[in-house]
């Protein structure tokens, strides 16, 4: 590795095609022909691999190698790299930028790089594939997965490694899950993207969440909530305590709805603080704190400091376990309106989900003000409707609607 770094070349990975091992190496214009010849012979006789060189700019390789050598300013370099265009001189890198831009244009919320059907791999690299083992790139648009394009498994591996670089992740780490983020420059604005990488038996797989697809953030009215639910939202924002949960399947817009309500609180002059892992969308007027469990900076680490700032509204990104649930309920009981999301198929089952996490009924019913269940309904004509289900626990008197009232409506 030391020899490769000093000669301005970067090893990307190994794939197998037509019973042949192929080593992929990115090289800058300053990589000498003598170096290329050495690498070709080394991999041919020592690794039994054929070498494929991917040309890229000098600054691209420089950024890669600075990060790998532990130089300071890694994150800034990666951000500069993303904004100037990802490895713009290589064919795979041009494809990556095209994919990202097309996903933003489609207003997709997620991009999935799927390695396809291959033989098991070693150290995170695909070791074989048949002619039918196509990899694919799919995007999530309004909760529906759409195929964007088909690519070879080898190209999928290269694209995932390029994404690792953009997010300042270690490209030689194959096994442990990796999470990061980067910013894509698209014309006059920047789009923030969150990256998750997994090593599968078929090769590296990546998933991107597009965090700010570009339009002004919608209000609850614009999201299509019913007048009854809007009336409840307005009443809740005048309250100084309690917990409101947003539930539904993945991709149904729980976070969008929660942010929409938080935006209304900001318009009313309320102090709003959020603790999220990670921060998905930048909200003007909201103090947003990003937790990182892997670094020991989880919700319990930030909550006491956040509460000392005396917020009117506290956002806890997602309730995943008993500890987070207890934190949310404690905050809602101590004079703060708490907003959070929970994975549950409906509003009714969200309360049972809290119970399954070990929350006592008395504690839960004392704090929980409402559960807003929602899902997206796709019609054959391409339109999408929001189906909402507002559930008020019998023990809660909202003043806006009757206790125990349930509203199920498609809008």
Residue 313 sits in a domain of what CATH number? 3.40.50.300
Q: Residue 27: pLDDT band by 50, 70, 90 thresholds?
A: low
E strand or H helix at 330, and its extent?
Answer: helix 322-333
Is residue 31 located within the same domain as residue 108? no
- Asked which of 187, 211, 235 is the last residue of a domain, the reply is 211
Q: Residue 338: pLDDT band by 50, 70, 90 thresholds?
A: very high
Domain for residue 63, yes or no?
no
Domain for residue 67, yes or no?
no
Is residue 194 classed as helix, strand or coil in its secondary structure?
Answer: strand
Domain for residue 82, yes or no?
no
Is residue 40 located within the same domain as residue 18? yes
Report the candidate in 193, 372, 197, 206 with the shortest Cα–Cα distance to residue 281. Answer: 193
Is residue 200 located within the same domain as residue 347? no
Domain for residue 80, yes or no?
no
pTM of the prediction? 0.64
Is residue 41 located within the same domain as residue 181? no
Report the candidate in 348, 349, 329 with the shortest Cα–Cα distance to residue 339. Answer: 329
Domain for residue 79, yes or no?
no
Query: Phi and psi at residue 159, in whole multiples of 5°?
Result: -65, -40
Model pLDDT, residue 311 = 93
Is residue 225 located within the same domain as residue 198? no
Is residue 226 located within the same domain as residue 360? yes
Characterise 306 by phi-psi region: left (phi > 0), alpha (psi -120 to 50), beta (else). Answer: alpha
Is residue 338 located within the same domain as residue 205? no
Domain for residue 66, yes or no?
no
Is residue 224 located within the same domain as residue 365? yes
Q: Residue 40: pLDDT band by 50, 70, 90 thresholds?
A: confident
The CATH code of the domain that includes 141 is 3.30.450.90
Cβ neighbours of 20 (radius 10 Å):
11
- Asked which of 9, 33, 55 is the last residue of a domain, the reply is 55
| Both structure tokens of 395 | 């023990």
Which residue has 């002059």 as its token pair? 269
Residue with the larger pLDDT of the pair 18 and 341: 341
Is residue 263 located within the same domain as residue 382? yes
Residue with the larger pLDDT of the pair 178 and 173: 178
Is residue 175 located within the same domain as residue 276? no
Domain for residue 69, yes or no?
no
- Count of domains in the chain? 3
Is residue 176 located within the same domain as residue 249? no
CB of 407 within 8 A of CB of 390? yes
Domain for residue 72, yes or no?
no
Residue-number span of the structural domain to which 46 is assigned: 1-55
């Amino acid at each position: 590795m030391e020899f490769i770094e000093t000669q301005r070349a970067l090893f990307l990975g190994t794939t197998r095609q037509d019973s042949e091992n192929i080593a992929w190496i990115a090289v800058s214009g300053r990589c000498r022909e003598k170096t290329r010849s050495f690498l070709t012979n080394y991999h041919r006789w020592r690794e039994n691999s054929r070498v494929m060189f991917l040309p890229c700019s000098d600054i691209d390789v420089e950024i890669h190698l600075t990060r790998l050598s532990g130089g300071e300013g890694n994150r800034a370099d990666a951000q500069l790299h993303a904004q100037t265009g990802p490895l713009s001189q290589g064919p795979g890198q041009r494809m990556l930028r095209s994919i990202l831009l097309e996903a933003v244009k489609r207003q997709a919320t997620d991009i999935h790089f799927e390695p396809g059907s291959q033989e098991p791999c070693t150290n995170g690299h695909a070791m074989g594939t048949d002619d039918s083992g196509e990899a694919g790139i799919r995007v999530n648009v309004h909760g529906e997965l759409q195929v964007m394009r088909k690519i070879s498994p080898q190209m999928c591996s290269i694209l995932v490694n390029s994404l690792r670089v953009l997010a300042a992740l270690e490209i030689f780490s194959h096994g442990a899950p990796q999470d990061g983020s980067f910013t894509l420059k698209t014309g006059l604005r920047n789009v923030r993207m969150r990256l998750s990488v997994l090593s599968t038996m078929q090769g590296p797989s990546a998933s991107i969440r597009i965090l700010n697809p570009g339009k002004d953030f919608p209000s609850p009215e614009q999201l299509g909530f019913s007048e009854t639910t809007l009336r409840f939202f307005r009443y809740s924002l005048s309250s100084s305590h309690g917990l409101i949960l947003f539930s539904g399947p993945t991709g149904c817009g729980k976070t969008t709805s929660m942010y929409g309500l938080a935006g209304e609180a900001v318009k009313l002059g309320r102090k709003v603080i959020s603790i999220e892992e990670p921060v998905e969308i930048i909200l003007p007027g909201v103090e947003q704190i990003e937790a990182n469990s892997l670094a020991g900076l989880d919700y319990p680490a930030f909550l006491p400091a956040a509460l000392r700032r005396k917020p009117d509204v506290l956002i806890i990104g997602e309730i995943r376990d008993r500890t987070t649930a207890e934190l949310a309920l404690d905050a809602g009981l101590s004079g703060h309106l708490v907003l959070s999301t929970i994975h549950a198929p409906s509003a009714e089952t969200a309360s049972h989900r809290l119970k399954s996490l070990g929350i006592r009924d008395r504690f839960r019913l004392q704090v929980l003000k409402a559960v807003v269940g929602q899902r997206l309904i796709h019609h054959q004509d391409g339109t999408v409707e929001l189906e909402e289900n507002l559930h008020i626990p019998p023990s809660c008197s909202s003043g806006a609607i009757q206790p125990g009232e349930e509203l199920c409506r498609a809008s």
